[in-house]
Structure formats: structure tokens, C-alpha cells
């Protein structure tokens, strides 16, 4: 185990005390003590630009969240069995943001819980068990959410070990998959054929679960019309559509508040978390009254901390601050600046392939010659070099070769210039070293 320059021994102690399945990415990770907006500060007072934190959507150390938590914690923090105003305020605010018809909310503590509950709800509403999922997807760690997770970056055995109620469609990856660029429309044709095969095999789907943009896959947009076509084919068969909004919603895409808006689809059930609590454990399922009622027939639903008064004031404050500070618009404007800068770096440095995504949800491919040669070693080295530049970026994707770039929505043009300057220097140095 590498020792951290900040506190030799602490990293080794972490490895002893903490399960070894949790990555910390760096050889010698800095020991982070505090955060402020899109900056992290280590115990030695060194600042880092946080380019990966899509959970702390409002930035770190947001005082309006801290004040709301403190006030509510001193008043009341019990569970949603009791009647209090905060749960109504948050549920109404979420339903008001959702498309017409998605007017009923259930509150939980995380994305995995939201996905798990969403799966139970589509099963209850249809009386069926089977679910359609896409490859290259991550939906969470609980038994249900893990069953529909297929990302090889998280579990190299995922495709061989899904339970028999999970049916897979090839990820419509227009960069590296079977159909590329302008041919990506053919993924929908393939998916419709697969549905016909399932029909012939007598499989009745409870529904489809999909990320509307591949999050862990590296910010890859689905081909235009893909989700809409697939959703209507699933619905024709009596199935329901679950959108996993855990990564890409809450205005991060700039032009859209919800991920499914980007695909022009209204799901039957939407699973939300991460940004919803700005780091506080909070998630939600937003669905129709009819689906919620069908689920209620199965019995009551109760989560001890999901929808607690503190969680609810956090949730309502996040939505208020997003609006007050115009952060969705910032994602659109600053995200465009960032994507332009990344694309111009990718033109100059052959190891940088496509730039995926939109708004402040971007991914940069690191490749050794093209889409078929993903380069996870280089991606990791680039992240290490960026750390020395004081920038936090981490790799993602099935091949762990995509730089995930999804900073707090507070990021501004000056921070974008700093990041692009650092990445440019790192790439130039790599090329100079390779030329020696």
C-alpha cells in the first residue's frame, strides 16, 4: 500500500479497517479536509479543482444547506410515519418539476434504494417479474439494482452473472459499439428484434430500466430517438419504463432538467438521488398515482430515515438554491465552454478521442489510436498527473478509459480555463516523454 505524504500509515490503516472493495483511485491520495464550491482542500492547505463531483451539485460547504440542516436538526428529525410539513414541501416541489402525470413521490436514502423501489413498483403494477436492461449500465449495489447493472468497469463478470429475470440489450454506444456514428440508428432496429425474440420465448416484461445518458459509461448520449422507440415498443407489450435519473438529472445537462427530456421520453417511474441531497443521503421515486396505488396493494412502504425532516429540508433547499443561483443555466453556458475546450485539446492530442455528453456531464475517451483501442493505463496516468496539477478527475466506463468530467454546477469560466490548461500541459508532457 502506498503511503500518503500527508499522514504515512493512515492509508494503510484505511486498507485494514475499510473493506478493500472501495477504490480511492490514486497511488497516494491527498487527505481532503474541507471543500468550498468546486474546490477541495487537503490537510496541508493545498487546493484542488474538483472536476468529478456530481453529487455536490451546489458545490461543497454550501452555507444555505448547512443552515437548513442545523435549524431542522434542532427542531425535529423523526421519520415519515409522523405528519410534518417538510415532507409535503419536498414532494410537491419534486412533482411540480416532473412532467404532468408523474405526481406521486416516495422518499428513500440513495440511488440504489430508488432503483430497487422503482423495480418493485413496475413489478407490482404489471404483475410481471422480467426486466429489460442495457449493457454498460450501472444502477446501484442493492440486490435488485445490482441485478440490472451490467457495467464491466464495476464488475467484470456482470454479463455472465445476471439473474434470469434480467434481459439485456446491447448498449447503443455510437463511439465504440457495433453501429457507429450515423449508423447508430440501427441500435433501435436491433432492440426491436430482440423484443420480438423475447415475445417468441414467451417473456412478458414488467418493464425497461435505462439511464437516459450512459453515466458510468462516460457520458455517452443515446442515439436520437432510441429511448422513445424502445419505450413505445415496451409499452405496446404492457411493460413500463423506468428512467434512472440518479446521475444526469437536476439541471446538469444544461438544456434539460431531467435526463429523459434529452430523449423526449416521459417515463412511468423516475429514480432520483445523488444531486438531490447535495451529498446528504436522499433519493426519490417519482411516479404516477396509479402505479403508486398498485404498489400499495402489496403492503405498506416505510423507510426509517427516507423522507425525514432533515432530509426533506435539504432536498427543498437544493432545489431552491439551484434556481436562486441559476445553476442549470450555468451548466449550459460553462458546459459548452468546457466541451469546446476539450474538443480542441482532443484535436491536438491523439490520445484524447471523442468528447461525450452535454452540459456539465462530459466524458473524454483516452485511446491508443482510435475507438477500438481504449487505453486505461494512459487514463490512469493522466489522472495521476492531473492530481499533481491540483485537479481531480477519475476514469470510468467498461474499459476504465474515459475521463469523467462532471464538476459541481458552481464551476466558472476561470476554473474551466485552469482545468484545460492543466490537461493540455499533462498531455504535452506525456508526448514529450514519449518522444525521448
Provide the binding-site residues for ligand PMP, judged by CB under 6 A: 110-112, 115, 138-140, 211, 215-216, 244, 246-247, 273-274
**Contact (CB, 8 A) for 399 and 153:** yes
Nearer to ligand PMP among residue 212 and residue 341 (C-beta): 212
What residues contact 186, with CB distance under 8 A and at least 6 apart?
179
Question: What is the rounded CA–CA span in Å between residue 322 and residue 221?
Answer: 24
Strands 130-134 and 205-210: parallel
| Farthest-apart Cα atoms in the chain, separation | 70
Distance in Å, CB of 431 to ligand PMP, minimum: 33
Apex CA 325: angle with CA 323 and CA 327, to 5°?
75
196 exposure class (CB count in 10 Å sphere: 0-12, 13-18, 19+): exposed
Nearer to ligand PMP among residue 115 and residue 379 (C-beta): 115
Nearer to ligand PMP among residue 111 and residue 309 (C-beta): 111
**Contact (CB, 8 A) for 220 and 363:** yes
Cell numbers of 38, please?
A: 468546486
Distance in Å, CB of 74 to ligand PMP, minimum: 27
Distance in Å, CB of 146 to ligand PMP, minimum: 10
Distance in Å, CB of 397 to ligand PMP, minimum: 12
Distance in Å, CB of 242 to ligand PMP, minimum: 11
Nearer to ligand PMP among residue 137 and residue 423 (C-beta): 137
Distance in Å, CB of 298 to ligand PMP, minimum: 23
For ligand PMP, the nearest residue by Cβ is 111
Cell numbers of 287, please?
A: 411516479
Nearer to ligand PMP among residue 16 and residue 22 (C-beta): 22
Nearer to ligand PMP among residue 110 and residue 401 (C-beta): 110
Nearer to ligand PMP among residue 216 and residue 410 (C-beta): 216
Distance in Å, CB of 374 to ligand PMP, minimum: 20
Question: What is the rounded CA–CA span in Å between residue 227 and residue 232?
Answer: 8
Cell numbers of 386, please?
A: 492531473
Question: What is the rounded CA–CA span in Å between residue 93 and residue 95?
Answer: 6
Helix, strand, coil % over all residues of the chain, rounded to 5 = 40, 20, 40
Amino acid at each position: 500500500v502506498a503511503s500518503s505524504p500527508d499522514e504515512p500509515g493512515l492509508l494503510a490503516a484505511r486498507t485494514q479497517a475499510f473493506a478493500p472493495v472501495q477504490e480511492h483511485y490514486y497511488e497516494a491520495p491527498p487527505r481532503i479536509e474541507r471543500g468550498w464550491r468546486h474546490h477541495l482542500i487537503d490537510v496541508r492547505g493545498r487546493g484542488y479543482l474538483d472536476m468529478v463531483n456530481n453529487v455536490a451539485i451546489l458545490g461543497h460547504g454550501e452555507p444555505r444547506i448547512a443552515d437548513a440542516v442545523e435549524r431542522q436538526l434542532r427542531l425535529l428529525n423523526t421519520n415519515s410515519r409522523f405528519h410534518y410539513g417538510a415532507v409535503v414541501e419536498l414532494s410537491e416541489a419534486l412533482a411540480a418539476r416532473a412532467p404532468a402525470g408523474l405526481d406521486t413521490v416516495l422518499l428513500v436514502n440513495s440511488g440504489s434504494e430508488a432503483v430497487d423501489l422503482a423495480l418493485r413498483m413496475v413489478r407490482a403494477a404489471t404483475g410481471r417479474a422480467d426486466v429489460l436492461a442495457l449493457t454498460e449500465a450501472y444502477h446501484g449495489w442493492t440486490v435488485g439494482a445490482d441485478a440490472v447493472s451490467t457495467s464491466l468497469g464495476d464488475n467484470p463478470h456482470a454479463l455472465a452473472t445476471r439473474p434470469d429475470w434480467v434481459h439485456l440489450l446491447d448498449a447503443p454506444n455510437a463511439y465504440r459499439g457495433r453501429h457507429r456514428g450515423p449508423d447508430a440508428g440501427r441500435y433501435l432496429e436491433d432492440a426491436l428484434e430482440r423484443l420480438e425474440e423475447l415475445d417468441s420465448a414467451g417473456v412478458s416484461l414488467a418493464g425497461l430500466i435505462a439511464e437516459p445518458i450512459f453515466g458510468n459509461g462516460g457520458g455517452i448520449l443515446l442515439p436520437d430517438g432510441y429511448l422513445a422507440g424502445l419505450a413505445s415498443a415496451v409499452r405496446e407489450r404492457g411493460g413500463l419504463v423506468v428512467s434512472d435519473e440518479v446521475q444526469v438529472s437536476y439541471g446538469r445537462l444544461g438544456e434539460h432538467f431531467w435526463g429523459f427530456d434529452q430523449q423526449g421520453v416521459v417515463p412511468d417511474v423516475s429514480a432520483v438521488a445523488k444531486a438531490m441531497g447535495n451529498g446528504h443521503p436522499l433519493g426519490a421515486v417519482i411516479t404516477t398515482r396509479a402505479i403508486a396505488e398498485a404498489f400499495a396493494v402489496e403492503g405498506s412502504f416505510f423507510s426509517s430515515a427516507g423522507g425525514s425532516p432533515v432530509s426533506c429540508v435539504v432536498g427543498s433547499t437544493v432545489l431552491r438554491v439551484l434556481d436562486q443561483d441559476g445553476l442549470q443555466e450555468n451548466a449550459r453556458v460553462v458546459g459548452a465552454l468546457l466541451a469546446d475546450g476539450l474538443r480542441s485539446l482532443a484535436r491536438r492530442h491523439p490520445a484524447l478521442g471523442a468528447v461525450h455528453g452535454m452540459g456539465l456531464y462530459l466524458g473524454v475517451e483516452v485511446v491508443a489510436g482510435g475507438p477500438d483501442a481504449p487505453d486505461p493505463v494512459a487514463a490512469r496516468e493522466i489522472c495521476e498527473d492531473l492530481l499533481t496539477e491540483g485537479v481531480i478527475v477519475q476514469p470510468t466506463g467498461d474499459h476504465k478509459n474515459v475521463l469523467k468530467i462532471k464538476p459541481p454546477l458552481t464551476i466558472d469560466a476561470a476554473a474551466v480555463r485552469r482545468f484545460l490548461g492543466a490537461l493540455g500541459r499533462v498531455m504535452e508532457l506525456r508526448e514529450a516523454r514519449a518522444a525521448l
